[in-house]
Chains A and B, each alone.
Chain A
Amino acid sequence: MASVTYRNVTKRWGDVTAVRNLSIEIPDGEFLVFVGPSGCGKSTSLRMLAGLEEITEGEILIGDRVVNNVAPKDRDIAMVFQSYALYPHMTVYDNMAFGLRLRRTPKQVIDERVREVAASLGIEQLLDRRPRQLSGGQRQRVAVGRAIVREPAVFLLDEPLSNLDAKLRVEARAFISKLHQRLGTTFIYVTHDQTEAMTMGQRIAVLRAGELMQIDSPSNLYDHPSNVFVAGFIGSPAMNFFDNVDLFEEGGKMWVDTGYFRLEVPEARYDLYRPHMGKQLTFGIRPEAISHPNYQPADIRPSLIEANVDVVELMGNEKIVYLEESGKTFLARFDPRADITVGQRTGAVFNMASMHLFDQETEQALQ
């Protein structure tokens, strides 16, 4: 068990900066997720912690110890790789026992630990098989088993679910979350999938092009994204953005004019937004904050507009509606009972309590 600290960590390959001045403190026992699009430096950040990449600048600490120059084997970590990286020439048992054997753990202890972990993961019947004879889901469990059997202080997982099919992935998500609860060890998890990040992470670090965009709890990231990137990256379907909106006061009320329609800003935001009037602003609103007038939730700050129905995707539990107004398309999540037809005009209610405004120049949220 150990905390992990990134202190001004930078990774460069020649002229390319993969990670820029990353500072994060991960308390003991936390499940932290690094998320971001490919090439954002999330895997590199994890690999530096594992000791598989050198740190160009800054320090990484595991517990109180700076590990910059400590070999991977001496860092008291275990890692689950995207490809699982099982040893193909060894049985499942030997795969799991390998790390313990290298540490000269007594045979009997190894046997107990391997069997206990295998039982807890439901893979005890596979112990004599080779990786080649296992399904993707089984391999993934063996890879996790190989990591936990060593009882490391920190667990590193590098996109461990991306090679699984959709159904298995949902199962594996729950399985890893439970595992974290059971072990209580620090977990650091890398994924490009914001759903995985949201469902598993206690805190999520969103990276873009080597820079930390925001680190916070899933609900805070979702409700209070601190910039346009995080707002657009977290949540699916993604948040709708309207650039160059006009923020003004009229008749004692504050309004946002997107150029297509005009929406009323809740009073609670007046003081926050007033200093930013006249700036170039981006207005953001999530699809679920736009509902059909007949099925609007009770506790919202409604602001009604009209738009054309472009596309309707019935998901069963909801309708994803592509609304269009003067060439601008935006998404809404309507109640499945909403009676709408493609090509018609429909009313749409914006819940302005969950509106977002961003400074268009800095891309930072006004908050």
Chain B
Amino acid sequence: MKRPDVPHIMRQGRLIPWFYLLPALAILTIYVVYPTVRTFYVSLRNEDSSGWAGDTCNDDETCFGVLENYHKVFTEDTAGAKNVTSLYNTARWLVIVVPGTVILGLLFAMITDRVRYTAAAKAIIFMPMAISFVGAALIWGFVYDSDEKVGLLNAFLVRLGFDARNWLGLAPPSGTFLLTVIAVWVWTGFTMTLLAAAIKSIPGEVIEASRVDGANEFQLFFRIILPQIMPTVAVVMTTMTINTLKMFDIVWVMGGRDTDVIATRMVSELTESRDFGMAAAIAVVLILLTIPVMVYNVRRFTIEEARR
């Protein structure tokens, strides 16, 4: 890397900067590096860390030795431990929540800018962000309740002449879809706020120039606004990807085994099955899934910085 032009008087030699970094490095080592390494080690061990993960394998089954826990994460799908289902469900979450929040966020960002009470409209859309996911899950529990006297959705259906249904008992992917709706409801306010700020930062004259040039509202959005806010859209999408990968609360509160995602599976292994090795293995998989997104985010950030 090229050494930046630092005035001579500010040069510090090679050693001094490390002293400044020491406190931060120490804290990171204790609270990030060590737990990560330790988790990886535990993931290779059996349920109570008394031996290696492959020790209990039966001879007539394929066994991955120390990686047996990972083997289970990607293949096991029993009634009590729907690992494969949880991976698919997390994928479903990503496919729905990330585009869902970004597209709705963009839509609301554009619309709220054009209404009379912009601030109030934005506040209302942002409001769910102030509610915890557990709270949101409870609220939506009332919406999805199977009894039409309680459940809002069923009340509507019955009023329209349909039968009430046990929404949360639906088999995947429908059950998962109902849960993702809640996450979209909560997070759209967040994406809207970031995207609206990005749209606001486009100079008014550029928008006006495109109008004079002949752009209609659609062309204005897709050819002028969207390309200019792509960096923000990318950041919002990666942030939402990470948020969604880590999704836990809603599923834990509302879901059954069929709607499990990676994070709930991990906690189940920990609190119900008391299998520390499996829980750690799932945690490592989750970390590995987020790493590419993080790398992309950091790279983008560096590019943006370099552009200034």
Measuring CB to CB, which residues of chain A are less than 8 angstroms from any residue of chain B? 50-52, 71-73, 77-79, 81-83, 85-89, 98-99, 102-103, 146, 150
| Count of chain B residues with a beta carbon within 8 Å of a chain A beta carbon | 17
User: Across the A-B interface, how many residue pairs have beta carbons closer than 8 Å?
Assistant: 59
Q: Is the CB of B209 within 8 A of A79?
A: yes
Q: Give the residues in chain A near B215, CB-CB below 8 Å.
A: 73, 98, 102
Q: Is the CB of A85 within 8 A of B209?
A: yes
Q: A87-B224, A88-B228, A89-B228 are in contact. Are A73 and B206 (CB under 8 A)?
A: no
Q: A73-B216, A102-B219 are in contact. Are A85 and B206 (CB under 8 A)?
A: yes
Q: Is the CB of A52 within 8 A of B208?
A: yes
Q: Is the CB of B214 within 8 A of A87?
A: no
Q: Is the CB of A78 within 8 A of B224?
A: no
Q: Is the CB of B213 within 8 A of A102?
A: yes
Q: Is the CB of B210 within 8 A of A87?
A: yes
- Chain B residue at smallest Cβ distance from A156: B212
Q: Give the residues in chain A near B227, CB-CB below 8 Å.
A: 89
Q: Is the CB of B203 within 8 A of A83?
A: yes
Give the most central of A71, A72, A86, A146: most B CB within 10 Å.
Answer: A72
B61 contacts chain A at the CB level, 8 A cutoff: no
Q: Give the residues in chain A near B206, CB-CB below 8 Å.
A: 85-88
Q: A87-B224, A89-B228 are in contact. Are A73 and B205 (CB under 8 A)?
A: no
Q: Give the residues in chain A near B209, CB-CB below 8 Å.
A: 79, 81, 85-87, 146
Q: Is the CB of A52 within 8 A of B211?
A: yes
Complex Cα distance, B211 from A78, in Å, reads 10
Q: Give the residues in chain A near B203, CB-CB below 8 Å.
A: 83, 85
Q: Give the residues in chain B near A52, CB-CB below 8 Å.
A: 208, 211-212
Q: How far is the CB of B2 from chain A (nearest CB, A)?
A: 22
8 Å CB contact of A99 from B213, B216, B224, B228: B213
Q: Give the residues in chain A near B216, CB-CB below 8 Å.
A: 73
Complex Cα distance, B213 from A103, in Å, reads 9
8 Å CB contact of A103 from B205, B210, B212, B214: B214
8 additional A-B pairs beyond A72-B212, A82-B205, beta carbons within 8 Å, are: A71-B211, A72-B208, A73-B211, A73-B212, A83-B205, A87-B224, A102-B215, A146-B209
